[in-house]
Amino acid sequence: MPRFPRTFEARRMSSIPRRPATAHAVQPGLKPLPRIRNLIAVGSGKGGVGKSTTAVNLALAIAAEGARVGVLDADVYGPSIPTMLGLTGRPDSPDGKQIVPMRAHGIEAMSIGLMIEEDSPLIWRGPMATSALTQLLEQTLWGGAGEDAQLDYLIVDLPPGTGDIQLTLAQKIPVAGAVIVTTPQDVATLDARKALKMFEKVHVPVLGLVENMAVHVCSNCGHVEHLFGQGGGQRIAAQYGVPLLGSLPLDIGIREQGDVGTPIFAFAPDSAAAEAYRATARALLAELEKRPRAQVSLGAQLL
Ligand SMILES: Nc1ncnc2c1ncn2[C@@H]1O[C@H](COP(=O)(O)OP(=O)(O)OP(=O)(O)O)[C@@H](O)[C@H]1O
């Protein structure tokens, strides 16, 4: 794989003008979080489909559009975002209550994995997990220390599956929209449908599906192969009545870069894989723009 001389962070700092995002409506009955203009939940019907990898690279791709972005790793079963972003140590908490998010590759990040010992197994019952996660969401100083600090987008990597924890989280967290990550096999077994139903049940709008590992790119010759046939993602999205936001390649660089803490989008922003994430991120933002805006109340910062 070609090496790119300039890091993503340097590129981002030097050339991308900030474009503050419009805040969009959340589920009826919930109040938007003051520090978050748009919270986007990333879910999947089952584990191992590449949800965290997709969430992190999409967060970077959205940041590259000029937005202030954070990622919250809510995957209590296997918090992998610290590794994917190369984060270690504990986040600061000056007053013992609020938590300063960590930063990597130009985005903010917080993970349940940063708050516990690295080797300790997370065997939490539903209520414990959901209250820990809602606390983490609310007590993190997203967007900086100032009173009016805000992120344009917070990408929340939900635990895989559609059990109680996922349902409660989808119900309690004020979400502007959800994205469902599937693989071609996942599509075949209809696990993605369960995730769709779950979000529907709690009135969270699904912005679309992302088909991960859709085509294989040979690391030697770059040959592209549709291992699982073509058009599956498109068909299933049409069947469910939601857009297919993008199809991502099964690419060794995506895995390798995730393992070493510099996601492919940061490592090789001009690669074909990064381009696929960029196109998917743009489609996601375009879908979000179609959603109703958050209501503006006097004194609120949701302009
Ligand atoms: N498009 C891709 N190409 C190559 N490898 C990928 C791709 N997407 C994900 N992977 C790899 O697949 C493995 C699982 O990915 P990831 O941890 O993102 O899945 P997940 O759905 O979040 O898993 P879980 O939530 O069950 O822990 C990782 O090793 C990751 O690097």
- Comparing CA positions, the residue from 91, 71, 55 lying closest to residue 280 is 55
Kindly tell me if the per-residue pLDDT of 9 is higher than 60: no
Is any ligand 1 atom within 6 A of the Cβ of residue 254? Answer: yes
Q: Which of 218, 176, 165, 211 is nearest to 192 (CA)?
A: 211
Answer whether 74 contacts ligand 1 (Cβ < 6 A).
no
Which pLDDT tens digit goes with each residue over 244-284? 999 999 999 999 999 999 999 999 999 999 999 999 999 99
| Domains in the chain, CATH or no CATH each | 36-289 (3.40.50.300)
User: Ligand 1 pocket, 250 CB below 6 A?
Assistant: yes
Residue from 32, 41, 54 nearest 195 by CA: 41
Structure tokens at 238: 């049409």
What residue's CA is closest to ligand 1, atom 19? Answer: 50
The mean pLDDT of 57-68, rounded to a whole number, is: 97
Mean pLDDT of the chain: 86
CA distance 196 to 177: 12
pLDDT, mean of residues 218-242: 80
Task: For residue 46, give the ligand 1 atom closest to its CA.
Answer: 26
Handedness of CA 288, 72, 30, 64 (dihedral sign): negative
The per-residue pLDDT for range 183-215, each reduced to its tens digit, is 887 665 678 888 999 999 999 999 999 999 988
Q: Is 167 helix (H, G, I), strand (E, B) or coil?
A: helix
Between residues 40 and 167, the one the model is more confident about: 40
Distance 288 CA to ligand 1 centre (A): 25
Per residue in 74-114, pLDDT (tens digit) is 987 778 999 999 999 999 988 888 999 999 999 999 998 88
DSSP state of 215: E
Radius of gyration for the chain, computed over Cα atoms and rounded to the nearest angstrom: 18
Of 86-90, 150-154, 231-235, 248-252, which gets the smallest average pLDDT? 231-235
Query: What confidence score (pLDDT) does residue 188 get?
Result: 58
The best mutation among 255, 260, 265 to test binding of ligand 1, ranked by most ligand atoms within 8 Å of the C-beta, falls on 255
Find the helix or strand (DSSP H, E) in which 39 lies. Answer: strand 36-44
Mean pLDDT of 13-34: 83
Smallest CA-to-CA distance from 153 within 263, 28, 282 is with 282
- Mean pLDDT for the stretch of residues 14-24: 77
Confidence check on the interface: ipTM exceeds 0.90, yes or no: yes
- 239 or 64, which is more confident: 64
Mutate to test the pocket of ligand 1, among 42, 44, 46, 52 (most ligand atoms within 8 A of CB): 52
